[in-house]
Protein backbone atom coordinates (compact mmCIF):
# COMPACT_ATOMS: atom_id res chain seq x y z
CA UNK A 1 0.00 0.00 0.00
CA UNK A 2 2.82 2.36 0.89
CA UNK A 3 4.42 1.52 -2.42
CA UNK A 4 1.25 2.52 -4.33
CA UNK A 5 0.99 5.75 -2.34
CA UNK A 6 4.61 6.52 -3.14
CA UNK A 7 3.99 6.02 -6.85
CA UNK A 8 0.97 8.34 -6.72
CA UNK A 9 2.98 11.00 -4.95
CA UNK A 10 5.84 10.58 -7.44
CA UNK A 11 3.48 10.93 -10.39
CA UNK A 12 1.84 13.95 -8.76
CA UNK A 13 5.23 15.64 -8.52
CA UNK A 14 5.98 14.70 -12.12
CA UNK A 15 2.59 15.94 -13.29
CA UNK A 16 3.06 19.22 -11.42
CA UNK A 17 6.51 19.66 -12.91
CA UNK A 18 5.27 18.91 -16.44
CA UNK A 19 2.29 21.22 -15.98
CA UNK A 20 4.47 24.08 -14.77
CA UNK A 21 6.86 23.56 -17.71
CA UNK A 22 3.98 23.63 -20.20
CA UNK A 23 2.58 26.84 -18.69
CA UNK A 24 6.04 28.44 -18.82
CA UNK A 25 6.50 27.47 -22.48
CA UNK A 26 3.06 28.82 -23.38
CA UNK A 27 3.90 32.15 -21.72
CA UNK A 28 7.25 32.37 -23.51
CA UNK A 29 5.68 31.47 -26.88
CA UNK A 30 2.91 34.04 -26.39
CA UNK A 31 5.43 36.76 -25.52
CA UNK A 32 7.57 35.86 -28.53
CA UNK A 33 4.93 35.33 -31.22
CA UNK A 34 2.20 37.63 -29.84
CA UNK A 35 -0.52 35.74 -31.77
CA UNK A 36 -3.21 38.25 -30.77
CA UNK A 37 -1.61 40.71 -33.21
CA UNK A 38 -3.23 38.72 -36.02
CA UNK A 39 -6.48 40.32 -34.92
CA UNK A 40 -5.31 43.85 -34.05
CA UNK A 41 -4.61 46.94 -36.12
CA UNK A 42 -3.86 50.63 -35.64
CA UNK A 43 -4.01 53.77 -37.74
CA UNK A 44 -2.33 57.16 -37.95
CA UNK A 45 -2.91 60.13 -40.25
CA UNK A 46 0.08 62.46 -40.36
CA UNK A 47 0.01 65.52 -42.61
CA UNK A 48 2.39 65.90 -45.53
CA UNK A 49 5.50 67.61 -44.12
CA UNK A 50 5.93 71.10 -45.49
CA UNK A 51 8.47 73.79 -44.68
CA UNK A 52 7.03 77.19 -43.67
CA UNK A 53 6.95 79.75 -46.48
CA UNK A 54 10.08 81.88 -46.66
CA UNK A 55 8.54 85.33 -46.96
CA UNK A 56 9.34 88.70 -45.44
CA UNK A 57 7.07 91.70 -45.29
CA UNK A 58 7.80 95.10 -43.85
CA UNK A 59 5.06 96.68 -41.75
CA UNK A 60 3.76 100.06 -42.83
CA UNK A 61 5.89 102.93 -41.56
CA UNK A 62 5.22 106.63 -41.42
CA UNK A 63 7.77 108.73 -43.30
CA UNK A 64 7.80 112.48 -43.95
CA UNK A 65 7.03 113.65 -47.49
CA UNK A 66 6.61 117.06 -49.08
CA UNK A 67 3.94 118.27 -51.50
CA UNK A 68 4.42 120.40 -54.60
CA UNK A 69 4.31 123.52 -52.45
CA UNK A 70 7.11 122.29 -50.26
CA UNK A 71 4.81 121.73 -47.29
CA UNK A 72 5.74 118.83 -45.10
CA UNK A 73 3.25 116.05 -44.34
CA UNK A 74 3.18 112.56 -42.97
CA UNK A 75 2.13 109.67 -45.18
CA UNK A 76 2.40 105.87 -44.80
CA UNK A 77 5.32 104.25 -46.59
CA UNK A 78 4.99 100.50 -47.24
CA UNK A 79 7.46 98.12 -48.83
CA UNK A 80 6.40 95.28 -51.12
CA UNK A 81 6.30 91.79 -49.71
CA UNK A 82 9.05 89.42 -50.83
CA UNK A 83 7.76 86.49 -52.86
CA UNK A 84 7.18 83.33 -50.86
CA UNK A 85 9.68 80.52 -51.36
CA UNK A 86 8.69 77.19 -52.85
CA UNK A 87 7.27 74.95 -50.13
CA UNK A 88 6.56 71.90 -52.29
CA UNK A 89 8.67 68.82 -51.52
CA UNK A 90 10.71 67.24 -54.30
CA UNK A 91 9.87 63.58 -54.97
CA UNK A 92 13.13 61.60 -55.07
CA UNK A 93 11.45 58.21 -55.42
CA UNK A 94 7.98 56.66 -55.55
CA UNK A 95 6.62 53.13 -55.45
CA UNK A 96 3.60 50.95 -54.68
CA UNK A 97 3.71 48.36 -51.92
CA UNK A 98 3.42 44.69 -52.79
CA UNK A 99 2.56 41.90 -50.40
CA UNK A 100 5.18 39.47 -49.18
CA UNK A 101 4.67 37.55 -45.92
CA UNK A 102 1.50 39.57 -45.19
CA UNK A 103 -1.08 41.38 -47.31
CA UNK A 104 0.27 44.93 -47.77
CA UNK A 105 -0.78 47.87 -49.94
CA UNK A 106 -0.23 51.63 -50.20
CA UNK A 107 2.50 53.86 -51.57
CA UNK A 108 5.95 55.01 -50.48
CA UNK A 109 7.60 58.33 -51.38
CA UNK A 110 11.09 59.65 -50.76
CA UNK A 111 10.71 63.41 -50.33
CA UNK A 112 13.20 66.25 -50.05
CA UNK A 113 11.82 69.30 -48.26
CA UNK A 114 12.75 72.88 -49.17
CA UNK A 115 15.12 73.04 -46.19
CA UNK A 116 17.07 70.07 -47.57
CA UNK A 117 15.82 67.50 -45.04
CA UNK A 118 14.48 64.19 -46.33
CA UNK A 119 11.43 62.20 -45.34
CA UNK A 120 10.01 58.83 -46.25
CA UNK A 121 6.23 59.14 -46.50
CA UNK A 122 3.89 56.15 -46.55
CA UNK A 123 0.39 56.89 -47.82
CA UNK A 124 -2.75 54.76 -47.58
CA UNK A 125 -0.70 52.01 -45.95
CA UNK A 126 -2.60 48.86 -45.10
CA UNK A 127 -0.70 45.94 -43.61
CA UNK A 128 -0.80 43.48 -40.72
CA UNK A 129 0.20 43.96 -37.12
CA UNK A 130 3.17 42.08 -35.80
CA UNK A 131 5.97 42.14 -33.23
CA UNK A 132 8.95 44.42 -33.83
CA UNK A 133 8.00 45.59 -37.34
CA UNK A 134 10.45 48.19 -38.69
CA UNK A 135 10.56 50.49 -41.71
CA UNK A 136 13.68 49.89 -43.78
CA UNK A 137 15.27 51.48 -46.82
CA UNK A 138 17.03 48.66 -48.67
CA UNK A 139 19.60 48.38 -51.44
CA UNK A 140 17.82 45.28 -52.77
CA UNK A 141 14.86 45.13 -55.14
CA UNK A 142 11.38 44.85 -53.70
CA UNK A 143 9.61 41.50 -53.80
CA UNK A 144 11.01 38.03 -54.16
CA UNK A 145 12.50 36.08 -51.28
CA UNK A 146 11.98 38.16 -48.16
CA UNK A 147 14.90 36.66 -46.21
CA UNK A 148 17.35 38.36 -48.61
CA UNK A 149 17.02 41.83 -47.08
CA UNK A 150 19.48 41.18 -44.25
CA UNK A 151 22.17 40.18 -46.75
CA UNK A 152 22.84 43.68 -48.07
CA UNK A 153 22.75 47.35 -47.06
CA UNK A 154 19.70 48.73 -45.31
CA UNK A 155 18.78 51.75 -43.21
CA UNK A 156 16.46 51.23 -40.24
CA UNK A 157 14.08 54.21 -39.88
CA UNK A 158 12.48 52.84 -36.73
CA UNK A 159 9.29 50.98 -35.77
CA UNK A 160 6.28 51.27 -38.05
CA UNK A 161 3.91 53.81 -36.50
CA UNK A 162 0.69 52.01 -37.41
CA UNK A 163 -0.64 49.26 -39.64
CA UNK A 164 -2.82 51.71 -41.57
CA UNK A 165 -2.81 55.33 -42.69
CA UNK A 166 -0.43 58.10 -43.69
CA UNK A 167 2.89 58.42 -41.87
CA UNK A 168 6.25 60.18 -42.11
CA UNK A 169 9.73 58.90 -41.22
CA UNK A 170 12.64 61.34 -40.98
CA UNK A 171 15.77 60.20 -42.83
CA UNK A 172 18.91 61.22 -40.91
CA UNK A 173 21.05 63.80 -42.70
CA UNK A 174 24.07 61.48 -42.63
CA UNK A 175 22.31 58.74 -44.63
CA UNK A 176 23.54 58.35 -48.21
CA UNK A 177 20.48 57.50 -50.32
CA UNK A 178 22.48 56.35 -53.33
CA UNK A 179 21.89 52.68 -53.99
CA UNK A 180 18.84 52.45 -51.73
CA UNK A 181 16.03 51.35 -54.02
CA UNK A 182 13.20 49.89 -51.95
CA UNK A 183 11.13 50.34 -48.80
CA UNK A 184 10.54 47.26 -46.66
CA UNK A 185 8.21 46.60 -43.74
CA UNK A 186 10.50 44.25 -41.87
CA UNK A 187 9.63 42.06 -38.88
CA UNK A 188 12.95 42.13 -37.08
CA UNK A 189 12.02 39.43 -34.59
CA UNK A 190 11.40 36.73 -37.19
CA UNK A 191 13.38 38.18 -40.12
CA UNK A 192 10.49 38.35 -42.57
CA UNK A 193 9.26 41.11 -44.86
CA UNK A 194 5.56 41.94 -44.53
CA UNK A 195 5.65 43.97 -47.74
CA UNK A 196 7.94 46.10 -49.89
CA UNK A 197 7.84 48.94 -52.44
CA UNK A 198 10.26 49.51 -55.31
CA UNK A 199 11.30 53.18 -55.56
CA UNK A 200 11.63 54.70 -59.01
CB atoms inside a 10 Å sphere around CB 129? 19
Torsions phi, psi for 192 (to 5 deg): -135, 150
What's the average model confidence in pLDDT over 59-78?
42
Q: What is the mean pLDDT of the chain?
A: 78
Nearest of 42, 44, 21, 24 to residue 32 by alpha carbon: 24
Give 126-166 pLDDT, tens digit per residue: 999 999 999 999 999 999 987 899 999 999 999 999 999 99
Helix then strand count (H, E) for the chain reads 1, 11
pTM of the full structure: 0.67
DSSP string, 146-188: GGGGGGS-EEEEEE-S-SEEEEEEEEPTT---TT--EEEEEET
Question: At 197, is the pLDDT very low, low, confident or very high (cuts 50, 70, 90)?
Answer: very high
- Does residue 92 register a pLDDT over 90? yes
- Does residue 173 register a pLDDT over 90? yes
Lowest mean pLDDT among 13-17, 96-100, 196-200: 13-17
pLDDT at 140: 97
- Does residue 66 register a pLDDT over 90? no
Give the C-alpha separation, 140 to 113, whole Å: 25
pLDDT at 50: 78
Amino acid sequence: MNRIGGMIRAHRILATTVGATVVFLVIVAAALFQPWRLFTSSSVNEALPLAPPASTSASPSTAPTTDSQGNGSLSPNTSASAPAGNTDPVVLGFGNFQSQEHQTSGTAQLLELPDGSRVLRLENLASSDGPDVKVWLSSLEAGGDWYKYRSDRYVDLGPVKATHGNQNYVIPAAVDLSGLQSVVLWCDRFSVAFGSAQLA
